[in-house]
């Protein structure tokens, strides 16, 4: 066949611009040409196609065995014919015979084009998969392109992301043209060969990434996010700590007049966010995790990774939360199973030891009694309850029967879904 310098030039440009090794392209074209050879010769068993890397000339070669008497013209060649190619050939040798069909130029050009297009698609797919693999659990934004079978398809540049129903926020409505922030969950090849990039608005990491974006102190490492517990669409608890004693972690995350956290709440369509200080002391951390409720005592039982909590009588419903949500999120955040009792019930049952009560100091560093602490804490949290970052006010008669919550334990596994405790039945 005549030389095809255009093919060589095109492959060279693709290697330079797309980063695809040109040798891979040449080999892929040669392999694809075998299909055309099979149709022409009836077999490709002894056929191979070659492309000259400099001129682009394409040859089809048939490997034939030298015999005295030819019985199969496709697989064999006579010694006399072989000698015409080279006098060095002998019986039994394998000879490469050029058998390129006259019409093979058009076929080879079509094949080369198809292979190049296919390789470009593969390269683009691999590039997208590689790019988003590095962005797993990272924040990206895009525009809702369409909604099909409850799946939300989001355009991010030229890449299409998919948000499955399980990754969508409960109660959130989606519409075409809507701009959303999501986290990348999974990147893999789809059923049709293209990349499938799954994203989420329900994952706890979304809240963490939104805080990273909104709070510069998190980005520069001054503040660290230690843990996040979330029930998407309803409430999130996030524990933060500061590496600089002069920087208030919670205050920095809230921002002036709540500006920073309000931006995140708006992005999450009103989802409530509790920001608490992380502590290396599990008793302090567990007590803080139950905010906005005041905690009087914490007893840790490491063997079962369990915490016994005592709260003021008036704070029991607040500590538990609607349908157990506050206690459930505290358990997820701290990793401890949590059993909460009111102060009177705890004293009746000797639920904890005296040393398990948290110390409360006045500004003058004078110790006060547990009852005084309970009153002071209750007063403080009643004030805090007016803040929009804390729990709604609870109507005990409407939502709770304290007698039914005394012995309930809240842990990560048992309360993975926001369900009402088994004991909460109508009497």
Does one domain contain both 302 and 417? yes
Does one domain contain both 327 and 374? yes
Does one domain contain both 240 and 273? yes
With helix as H, strand as E and coil as C, how does the chain read? CCCCHHHHHHHHHHHHHHCCCHHHHHHHHHHHHHHHHHHHHCCCCCEEEEECCCCCCEEEEEEEEEECCCCCCCCEEEHHHHHHHCCCCCCCCEEEEECCCCCHHHHHHHHHHHHHHHHHHHHHHHHHHHHHHCCECCEEEEEEEEEECCEEEEEECCEEEEECHHHCCCCCCCCCCCEEEEEEEEEEECCCCCEEEEEECCCHHHHHHHHHHHCHHHHCCCEEEEEEEEECCCEEEEEEEECCCCCCHHHHHHCHHHHHHHHHHHHCCCCEEEEEECCCCHHHHHHHHCCCCCCCEEEEEHHHCEEEEEECHHHHHHHHCHHHHHHHHHHHHHCCEEEEEEHHHHHHHCCCCHHHECCCECCCCCECCHHHHHHHHHHHHHHHCCCCCCCCCCCHHHHCCHHHCCCCEECCCCCCCCCCCCCCCCC
Number of domains in the chain: 4
Output the pLDDT for position 369: 42
Does one domain contain both 390 and 294? yes
- Domain, as residue range, for 120: 5-131
Does one domain contain both 189 and 231? no
Does one domain contain both 416 and 288? yes
CATH code, 16: 3.30.1480.10
Does one domain contain both 303 and 314? yes
Does one domain contain both 390 and 419? yes
Which of 234, 253, 278 is the C-terminal boundary of a domain? 278
CATH code, 340: 3.30.300.20
Predicted confidence pLDDT, tens digits, the chain (427 residues): 445 678 888 888 888 877 778 888 888 888 877 777 776 666 656 778 888 888 888 888 888 888 888 887 777 888 888 888 888 888 888 888 887 777 666 776 777 778 778 877 777 787 788 788 888 889 999 999 999 999 999 999 888 999 999 999 999 999 999 999 999 999 887 766 678 899 999 999 999 999 999 999 999 999 999 999 999 999 999 999 999 999 999 999 999 999 999 999 999 999 999 999 999 999 999 999 999 999 999 999 878 799 999 999 999 999 999 999 999 999 999 999 999 999 999 999 999 988 999 864 434 344 344 444 444 444 444 434 434 333 333 333 333 333 333 334 444 443 333 334 444 444 3
Single pTM value for the model: 0.65
Does one domain contain both 81 and 172? no
Output the pLDDT for position 193: 62
Does one domain contain both 112 and 249? no
Which of 278, 293, 327 is the C-terminal boundary of a domain? 278
Does one domain contain both 46 and 112? yes
Does one domain contain both 286 and 408? yes
CATH code, 193: 2.40.50.140
Which of 177, 199, 221 is the C-terminal boundary of a domain? 199
């Amino acid at each position: 066949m005549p030389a095809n310098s255009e093919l060589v030039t095109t492959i060279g440009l693709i290697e330079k611009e797309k980063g695809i090794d040109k040798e891979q392209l040449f080999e892929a074209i040669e392999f694809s040409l075998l299909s055309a050879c099979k149709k022409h010769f009836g077999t490709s068993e002894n056929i191979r196609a070659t492309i000259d890397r400099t001129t682009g000339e394409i040859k089809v070669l048939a490997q034939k065995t030298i015999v005295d008497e030819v019985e199969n013209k496709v697989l064999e060649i006579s010694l006399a014919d072989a000698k015409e190619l080279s006098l060095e050939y002998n019986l039994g040798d394998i000879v490469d015979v050029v058998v390129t069909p006259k019409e093979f130029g058009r076929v080879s050009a079509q094949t080369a084009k198809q292979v190049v297009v296919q390789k470009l698609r593969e390269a683009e797919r691999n590039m997208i998969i590689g790019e988003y693999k590095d962005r797993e659990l990272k924040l990206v934004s895009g525009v809702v392109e369409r909604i099909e079978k409850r799946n939300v398809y989001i355009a991010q540049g030229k890449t299409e992301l998919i948000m499955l129903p399980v990754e969508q926020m409960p109660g959130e409505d989606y519409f075409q043209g809507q701009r959303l922030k999501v986290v990348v969950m999974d990147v893999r090849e789809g059923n049709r060969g293209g990349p499938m990039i799954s994203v989420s608005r329900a994952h706890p990491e979304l809240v963490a990434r939104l805080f990273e974006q909104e709070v510069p102190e998190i980005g520069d490492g001054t503040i660290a996010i230690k843990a996040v517990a979330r029930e998407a669409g309803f409430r999130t608890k996030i524990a933060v700590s500061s590496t600089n004693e002069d920087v208030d972690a919670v205050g920095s995350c809230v921002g002036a007049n709540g500006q920073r956290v309000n931006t995140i709440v708006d992005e999450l369509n009103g989802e409530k966010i509790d920001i608490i200080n992380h502590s290396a002391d599990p008793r302090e951390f567990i007590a803080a995790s139950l905010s906005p409720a005041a905690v009087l005592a914490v007893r840790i039982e490491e063997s079962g990774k369990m915490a016994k909590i005592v709260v003021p009588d008036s704070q029991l419903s607040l500590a538990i939360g609607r349908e157990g949500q506050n206690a459930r999120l505290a358990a997820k955040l701290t990793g401890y199973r949590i059993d909460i009792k009111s102060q009177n019930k705890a004293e009746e049952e000797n639920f904890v030891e005296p040393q398990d009560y948290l110390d409360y100091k006045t500004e003058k560093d004078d110790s006060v009694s547990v009852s005084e602490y309970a009153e002071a804490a209750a007063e403080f949290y009643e004030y805090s309850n007016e803040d929009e970052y804390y729990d709604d006010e609870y109507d005990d008669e409407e939502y709770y029967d304290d007698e039914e919550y005394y012995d309930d334990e809240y842990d990560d596994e048992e309360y993975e879904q926001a369900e009402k405790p088994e004991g909460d039945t109508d009497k």
